[in-house]
Amino acid sequence: MGEQPGDFDTARGEVFSITVPEDVVSDRVDRYLADAIPRLSRARILDLFEDECITVNGLQWRPSRRVKGGEQIVVSVPPIISKIEPAPMEFRVLYEDAELAVIDKPAGVIVHPGAGTSGPTLVNGLLHRYPELTGVGDPDRPGIVHRLDKDTSGCLVVARTDETRRRLISMFACRRVHKEYYALVKGVPQQDQFTIDKEIGRSIHDRKRMSIRTHFGREAVTHATAVETFGAAASALAVRIETGRTHQIRVHLAYAGLPVLGDNVYGRAAHEMSVAAGAARQMLHAHKISFAHPSLQKELVIVSPVPEDMRGVEARLREKYCFSNDPR
């Protein structure tokens, strides 16, 4: 494809000069460039067209224009400047290589900046440990391919290159990443294993909350298995999700009459039990994540142990509600 770009330096920016081969199969220029420069996603290329950073034979063209052999394409990628400052932060790394990392997100930490957030986020700590994340994806959420709620702990995947980020996002979208959570809830399910298949969207009563009562729901499927029961009062569940809707597990379990302990938004019905058991945050932990490594062609199965605060709540539930330990 003519001159091939080298390693892309997101901090400096880069200029890619490409000569289209004479025998090229005609295609849209945005698709052609996505193949020619794998480190730039098609969405990023479309943004560069919008910002007039791409020329064909020295002229501005629409991304839908078809390329022709012999044409000269110049892509000028401006430097990506992140306003997020690196900052030291303690978190455990469960797995890392040159392309990605899986970290053990602490409870109480927001993953990335957003509306209404202040103070350090997990991204500040990630940039301190992995400076190369600057420019990997959105400047406000570099390297982030999925999220966990502020008070949910556990496995979080981080992409360390733009190409890996693109592949991981595609894998999440195609449901090729498998996630399992551990939850402590009020109540005992009627069956040891059950599935909740209810669409989730913005609540018709409160736009800040998610709900199954919505005008614009999206498919959401949650599978749960009872791991342990605490008398007839509470349960520990292993939860597997097929989809990744905002607050999905919390909404679905509340709908099923099994609100997550410590959840001040969807688990108010469990407030008294949460206080008695010392659940200072929602008792939800991303326990395990598994997926095929995007380039190494090996299956990764990463496990984060259930944290001490949840083990402490379990102990108090056993003490209060169990005549005997009742594992299922």
Token representation of residue 121: 């986020």
Q: Give CA–CA dist 82/113, Å, rounded.
A: 12
Does residue 206 carry a catalytic annotation?
no
Cβ neighbours of 145 (radius 10 Å): 22
Q: Give CA–CA dist 274/320, Å, rounded.
A: 12
What angle do helix axes 42-50 and 29-36 make, rounded to 10 degrees? 130
Tell me which of 7, 27, 138, 149 is the catalytic residue. Answer: 149
Q: Which helix (H) or strand (E) element contains residue 165?
A: helix 162-173
> Are the C-beta atoms of 287 and 266 separated by less than 8 Å?
no
- Strand blocks (E) in 31-151: 54-56, 59-60, 72-77, 92-96, 100-105
Q: Give CA–CA dist 306/289, Å, rounded.
A: 14
Amino acid at 208: K
Token representation of residue 217: 């729901």
Q: Which helix (H) or strand (E) element contains residue 288?
A: strand 284-292
Catalytic sites, residue numbers: 149
